[in-house]
Amino acid sequence: MTLWEIDNAIVHALSLADDESGEIPDSALALLDQLEMERVAKITNVLAVIRNSQAQADAIDIEIARLQAMRSSPARTVERLKDYLFGSMMVHGETKIDCGAIGKPRIQKNSQPSIGFSGEVGKLDERWKRVTVDLDKRALLEAYKAGEPLPEGVSVETGYHLRLG
């Protein structure tokens, strides 16, 4: 049975209680004991799968970090050598070199120019600025904790989560 089916069976067994006295028949009590044992066993199995899957995910994260560290050295070498080759070609005024089957390095003009700015953004005309307005959740939480009234439309909710012990 699935956990959902066990929970429904428990609800059904509890519904067998006498309406007037509230007593649960012995057969329903035995069924409830059996269902509770099945429920604990099912939860134990689910927890084992969670722990195993988390261990696999952690091992993969460790392997990713190890591979990224291994990748960074050759990647830096590639960038350093590309800069070295670019500088050499620029010094000699070359735009293309035929190196046979291994390749043909060439210098090309970028398709999009880069935009830089060293002044004060505040002094620019409004059409050259972009403003982003966002909700300051930290300030709202501090106001809530201090007992201050919050603006209309703001709600504060405390949810629940599962902690595996």
Rounded Cα–Cα distance for residues 46 and 39 (Å): 10
| Threshold 0.75, pTM exceeds | no
The answer to whether residue 161 scores a pLDDT higher than 90 is no
The answer to whether residue 164 scores a pLDDT higher than 90 is no
Is there a contact between 42 and 3 (Cβ–Cβ < 8 Å)? yes
Sorted by sequence, the CB contacts under 8 Å of residue 36 that are 6+ apart come out as: 10
Q: What is the mean pLDDT of residues 117-129?
A: 92
Q: Tens of pLDDT along 67-111? A: 999 999 999 999 999 999 999 999 999 999 999 999 999 999 999
The answer to whether residue 6 scores a pLDDT higher than 90 is yes
Residue in 128, 150, 125, 123 with CA at minimum distance from that of residue 137: 150
Sorted by sequence, the CB contacts under 8 Å of residue 51 that are 6+ apart come out as: 164
The answer to whether residue 42 scores a pLDDT higher than 90 is yes
Both tokens assigned to 23: 């007593």
What is the domain partition of the chain in residue ranges? 3-107
Phi, psi of 73 (to 5 degrees): -65, -50
Is there a contact between 31 and 46 (Cβ–Cβ < 8 Å)? no
Rounded Cα–Cα distance for residues 24 and 16 (Å): 6
Rounded Cα–Cα distance for residues 137 and 148 (Å): 14
The answer to whether residue 25 scores a pLDDT higher than 90 is no
Q: Tens of pLDDT along 52-71? A: 999 999 999 999 999 999 99
